[in-house]
């Protein structure tokens, strides 16, 4: 019996055309969202909204939102609308509005846009992705891990890993072989994270094919399917939920969950105590209160509500926290080190000044790199901050509106579930705040120069309650690597490096195409 006519193929054509027209009309209605609120948007095109170049990977996230920042700010706008596929996004340029969203009116923007579905994908149940009270309670529990006191206790692990880094560099300098800096420092940061988060000696510097290094590269270099899932998780996460598609592949989840289980079992059976992240997670698992944790009772309410973290952690919850510590820790730190080394070799006077500071400070500490010695290296701090200004690993700061919010001094209401992007890559390259922004100038972060700038002009770690919890840890990784390498070696740019650098549009984290290749030479005392 024919559906519409006596010719089945005509019926199929009619249905197909109807579906296509319906989809077009639906998208046009979706893409009228900001227009209905009288918010200006860039030119929209079907079917990806404003993100066509991002979806086709012809432009990087950094360039997309840096260009948008200057294009719209030059028109005198404090914000504009944007569509990431069907997801409406408010792009914020005004620092006061950014401050309100990140800190002052945080209660309206408590959530990240990171995908979370603990049932289908246990590794997504990590601090960055958790929402509401569950995030709040876990954040309170994990905060003691990253105090300066805890960093001092973990510091010997950083130094132990740095010994292997020096041995590796000695080998390279001996044979005068160029090296790709991100690969080497990525192994170093993998070893540190493996030791501090999992209590495992990864030995990536000795064995570049270690399992931790293999999975680290897998996660930082997603294939087409993984990239598609990541984009879906941001724009239409309901697709992953309905189809029960995990964001992370089964072998990745299996590896990290089994590693955590084996580590926990071994430590508990052998009564092993270490000053690291895993020990704190084990304490949470067993509901053990330490001196630092006695004030963190916020989990009691969570025990009454299955929606929240309670007084204990499950094995999957432990694995998720260790996983994000690993993922966020090794990639962003190795990225920052890569760009820092690039600037040090293209500005040799800065490299030499940093080398002199390192040697001067170490002389005061009997030649030993201690936590206190590292904290005294102020010029190093300026170099790292300037690198993070020029090359923020994550170029945009993202929040999800959790309660309707009226933008101050306007009639525009940001609706619940609308995303907000703050393009820190644009802010940190704005001549209003940083004259000659493409110039690498560590002096911008001297005490006098910092005091002249508005707050919220430097946001590589975010700000407010959702600021990066691992900031201290990441900075120490970076500074230990710089201290041990710049002190004893001189670096120059190898001809394999494409200079000026070209960013890779396939990566959300800022990454250069072809890498940064350096020559190394031992410095005589």
Distance CA 234, CA 88 (A): 11
Tell me which of 35-49, 286-300, 379-393, 423-437 is least confident: 286-300
Question: Rounded mean pLDDT of the chain?
Answer: 89
Distance CA 480, CA 486 (A): 10
Residue 299 scores a pLDDT above 50: no
What's the pLDDT tens digit per position in 182-238? 999 999 998 998 888 888 888 888 887 888 888 887 877 778 888 888 888 888 888
Q: What is the pLDDT of residue 376?
A: 97
Q: Considering the chain, what percentage of its residues have pLDDT values greater than 70?
A: 93
Give the start-to-end residue ranges of the domains of the chain. Answer: 59-522
Q: Considering the chain, what percentage of its residues have pLDDT values greater than 90?
A: 60
CATH of domain 59-522: 1.10.630.10
Q: What is the pTM of this model?
A: 0.90
Mean per-residue pLDDT, 146-155: 88
- CA atoms lying within 13 Å on the CB side of residue 430: 24
What's the pLDDT tens digit per position in 115-142? 999 988 999 999 999 999 999 999 988 8
Distance CA 414, CA 406 (A): 6
- CA atoms lying within 13 Å on the CB side of residue 161: 29
Give CA 322 to chain center in angstroms: 15
Decide the pairing of beta strands 405-406 and 87-92: unpaired
The CA-atom distances, in angstroms, between 14 and each of 3, 17, 18, 46, 386 are: 11, 5, 6, 22, 59
Does residue 62 contact residue 503 with C-beta atoms inside 8 Å?
A: yes
Mean per-residue pLDDT, 405-429: 97
Distance CA 97, CA 325 (A): 30
Estimate the crossing angle of helix 181-198 against helix 277-285, to 10 degrees: 30
Q: Averaging pLDDT over each range in 20-29, 158-167, 342-351, which range is the top one?
A: 342-351
Q: What is the pLDDT of residue 6?
A: 65
What's the pLDDT tens digit per position in 60-80? 999 999 999 999 999 999 999
Q: What is the pLDDT of residue 236?
A: 86
Q: What angle do CA 392, 429, 76 make, to 5 degrees?
A: 125
What kind and span of H or E run contains 480?
helix 471-488
Q: What is the pLDDT of residue 55?
A: 87
What is the number of other CB atoms lying within 10 angstroms of the CB of residue 16?
10
Distance CA 437, CA 277 (A): 38
3-state secondary structure of 144: helix
Distance CA 391, CA 112 (A): 22
Q: Which residues pair with 520 in a beta bridge?
A: 491
The length of the chain, given as a count of residues: 525
Sequence-distant (6+) residues with CB within 8 A of 433 are 427, 453, 454, 457
Q: What is the pLDDT of residue 440?
A: 98
Q: Show the tokens assigned to 175.
A: 């044979």
DSSP for 346-400? HSHHHHHHHHHHHHHHHHHTTT---HHHHHT-HHHHHHHHHHHHHS-SS-SEEEE
On whether 468 is known to bind a ligand per the annotation, the reply is yes
What's the pLDDT tens digit per position in 307-329? 444 567 888 989 999 888 888 88
Distance CA 53, CA 424 (A): 20
């Amino acid at each position: 019996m024919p559906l519409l006519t006596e010719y089945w193929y005509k019926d199929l054509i009619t249905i197909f055309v109807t579906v296509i027209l319906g989809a077009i009309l639906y998208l046009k209605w979706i893409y009228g969202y900001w227009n209905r609120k009288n918010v200006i948007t860039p030119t929209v095109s079907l079917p990806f909204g404003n993100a066509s170049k991002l979806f086709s990977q012809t432009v990087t996230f950094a360039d997309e939102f840096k260009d948008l920042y200057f294009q719209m700010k030059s028109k005198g706008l404090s914000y504009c609308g944007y569509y990431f596929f069907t997801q409406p996004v408010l792009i914020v340029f005004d620092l006061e509005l950014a401050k309100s969203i990140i800190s002052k009116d945080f209660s309206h923007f408590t959530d990240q846009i990171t995908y979370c579905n603990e049932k289908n994908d246990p590794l997504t149940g990590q601090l960055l992705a958790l929402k509401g009270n569950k995030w709040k309670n876990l954040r309170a529990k994990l905060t003691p891990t990253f105090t300066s006191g805890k960093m001092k206790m973990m510091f010997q692990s950083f130094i132990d890993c740095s010994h292997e880094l020096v041995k590796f560099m000695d080998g390279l300098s001996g044979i005068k072989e160029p090296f790709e800096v991100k690969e080497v420092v990525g192994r170093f940061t993998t070893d540190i994270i493996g030791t501090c988060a999992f209590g495992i000696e990864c030995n990536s510097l000795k064995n570049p094919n270690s399992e931790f290094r293999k999975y680290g590269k897998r996660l930082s270099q997603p294939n087409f399917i993984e990239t598609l899932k990541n984009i879906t998780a941001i724009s239409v996460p309901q697709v992953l939920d309905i189809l029960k598609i995990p964001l992370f592949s089964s072998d990745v989840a299996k590896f990290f969950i089994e590693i955590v289980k084996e580590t926990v079992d071994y430590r508990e059976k052998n009564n092993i105590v270490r000053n690291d992240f895993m020990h704190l997670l084990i304490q949470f698992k067993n509901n053990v209160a330490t001196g630092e944790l006695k004030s963190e009772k916020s989990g009691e309410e969570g025990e009454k509500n299955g929606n929240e973290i309670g007084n204990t952690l499950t094995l999957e919850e432990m694995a998720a926290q260790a996983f994000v510590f690993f993922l966020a820790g090794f990639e962003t730190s190795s990225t920052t080190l890569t760009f820092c080394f690039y600037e040090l070799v293209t500005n040799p006077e800065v490299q030499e000044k940093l080398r002199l500071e390192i040697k001067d400070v170490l002389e005061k500490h009997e030649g030993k790199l201690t936590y206190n010695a590292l904290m005294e290296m102020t010029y190093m701090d300026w170099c790292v901050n300037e690198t993070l200004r020029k090359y923020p690993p994550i170029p945009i700061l993202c929040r999800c509106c959790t309660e309707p919010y009226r933008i101050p001094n306007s009639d525009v209401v940001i609706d619940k579930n609308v995303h907000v992007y703050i393009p820190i890559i644009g802010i940190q390259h704005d001549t209003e705040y940083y004259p000659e922004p493409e110039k690498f100038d560590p002096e911008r972060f001297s005490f006098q120069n910092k005091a002249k700038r508005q707050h919220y002009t430097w946001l590589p770690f975010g700000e407010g309650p959702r600021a990066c919890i691992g900031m201290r840890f990441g900075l120490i990784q970076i500074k230990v690597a710089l201290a041990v390498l710049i002190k004893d070696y001189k670096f120059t740019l190898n001809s394999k490096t494409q200079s000026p650098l070209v960013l890779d549009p396939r990566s959300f984290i800022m990454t250069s195409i072809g890498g940064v290749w350096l020559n190394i030479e031992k410095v005589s005392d």
